[in-house]
Amino acid sequence: MKVTVKLFASLSRGRFAVGVFEGEATLTVRDILASLKIPEEEASIIFINGRHEDADAALGDGDTLAVFPPVGGG
């Protein structure tokens, strides 16, 4: 299965902004974070297809995962 991964703000530094992951059908957000060496506390906002999820969430084929460090504004 294929998943699009987007990293934002400081998380993209030294990594990438948009990438594609292929893997097992049982891939979770945690697996992807681990393979990218992103500590879980830095992945403070996680979206799958625009909905908030946490690191336990499983990914499905064609999903878009977006990960943000803690950010704020207003």
The 64-68 sheet, strands edge to edge: 18-22, 2-7, 64-68, 45-48, 51-53
Q: Are 17 and 10 in contact (CB under 8 A)?
A: no
Q: Indicate the residue among 20 and 25 with the shorter CB distance to another protein.
A: 20
- Determine if 21 is a binding residue for another protein (CB under 8 A): no
**Residue from 23, 60, 62, 70 that binds another protein (CB under 8 A)?**
70
Site residues, another protein (CB under 8 A):
6, 8-10, 12, 17, 44-45, 47, 49-52, 66, 68-74
